[in-house]
């Protein structure tokens, strides 16, 4: 009888131990499963029956227990396509790979289709839908959402800032503008319908629609594709309405000003310090 009681006690102890081990194993497995992917992630969305691929960069230390700044990046004309990848090879994608320490933020990188511009439908909807999806999935902070673009994406940045006021806490616009270059209008005749009338008033009108959003404008002084006057006039127009404006013009630099711009050490502390509440009050 005593022996049976002892055997029963041993069995019960073993059961308790095995149960505890199983719980620990299950908890560990669940935690591993719950750990989110980081780095450059493939994503898709659907607009009017068409599937678009895009990329989202997620910092290595991402956690759902805090809100994260979000950067929407618009690439230039050379990265247009349907692979959902080329937009990471120029501009902010290169900057991320060079120094991830600057990017304690979710970076959303949609891809514009060929033979079309960010200012032409449905590319604006694509960019904003990708932004909303990534913000929701990765716990983005709508009070710290930023917009940046290069070349064609610089034009797109000024365009989205006008179309979606009260959305972005700050802008970083690199070799962009309001009036597309003449050569671009010749190769994209439909773009005329989505561009403002020629003349200086277009810059003031654009600034009025954007509002007092802090902006840092970059341009190469010797740009042979997008006239530097485009950035100069938009910077002046934003200053005229009382916005905080930083303007950096690189002497001797042609069109590719983005490598130097995204390498500016003061850019990211400035950017992350801005909140939508700052200029919405």
- Would you list the domain boundaries of the chain? 1-35, 36-280
Model pLDDT, residue 223: 97
Instruction: Please compute the mean of the pLDDT values over residues 244-248 and round it to a whole number.
Output: 98
Q: Across the chain, what does the average pLDDT equal?
A: 90
CA distance 73 to 56: 10
Model pLDDT, residue 272: 97
DSSP letter at 209 equals: H
Percent of the chain with pLDDT over 90: 79
Q: What is the pLDDT of residues 29-39, one digit of tens each?
A: 334 344 578 99
Fold of 36-280: Rossmann fold (3.40.50)
DSSP letter at 20 equals: H
CA distance 265 to 259: 12
DSSP secondary structure letters along 50-80: EEEEEEEEE-TT--TTS-EEEEEEE--GGG-
Instruction: Please compute the mean of the pLDDT values over residues 137-149 and round it to a whole number.
Output: 98
| pLDDT higher than 60, residue 142 | yes
Q: What is the pLDDT of residues 180-206, one digit of tens each?
A: 998 999 989 999 999 998 888 999 999
| pLDDT higher than 60, residue 263 | yes
DSSP secondary structure letters along 138-166: TTEEEEEEEEEEETHHHHHHHHHHHHSTT
Report, in angstroms and rounded to the nearest whole number, the Rg of the chain calculated over CA atoms: 25
Q: What is the pLDDT of residues 216-227, one digit of tens each?
A: 999 999 999 999
DSSP letter at 5 equals: H
* Residue among 127, 89, 122 nearest 108 (CA): 127
């Amino acid at each position: 009888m005593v022996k049976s009681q002892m055997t029963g006690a041993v069995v019960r102890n073993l059961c308790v131990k095995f149960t505890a081990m199983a719980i620990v194993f299950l908890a560990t497995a669940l935690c591993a499963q719950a750990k989110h992917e980081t780095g450059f992630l493939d994503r898709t969305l659907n607009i009017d029956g068409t599937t678009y691929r895009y990329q989202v960069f997620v910092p290595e230390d991402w956690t759902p227990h805090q809100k994260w700044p979000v950067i929407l990046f618009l690439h230039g004309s050379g990265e247009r396509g349907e692979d959902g990848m080329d937009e990471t090879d120029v501009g902010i994608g290169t900057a991320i790979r060079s120094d991830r320490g600057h990017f304690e933020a979710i970076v959303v990188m949609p891809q514009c289709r060929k033979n079309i511009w960010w200012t032409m439908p449905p590319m604006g909807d694509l960019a904003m839908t990708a932004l909303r999806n990534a913000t929701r999935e990765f716990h983005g902070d709508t009070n710290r959402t930023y917009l940046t673009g290069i070349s064609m994406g610089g034009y797109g940045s000024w365009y989205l800032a006008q179309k979606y006021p009260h959305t972005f806490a700050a802008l970083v616009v690199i070799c962009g503008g309001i009036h597309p270059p003449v050569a671009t209008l010749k190769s994209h005749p439909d773009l005329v319908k989505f561009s403002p009338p020629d003349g200086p008033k277009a810059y003031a009108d654009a600034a009025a629609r954007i509002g007092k959003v802090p902006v840092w404008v970059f341009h190469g002084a010797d740009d042979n594709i997008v006239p530097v006057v485009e950035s100069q006039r938009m910077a002046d127009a934003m200053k005229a309405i009382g916005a905080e404006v930083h303007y950096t013009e690189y002497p001797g630099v042609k069109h590719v000003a983005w490598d130097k711009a995204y390498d500016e050490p003061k850019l990211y502390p400035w950017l992350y310090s801005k909140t939508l509440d700052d200029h919405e009050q």
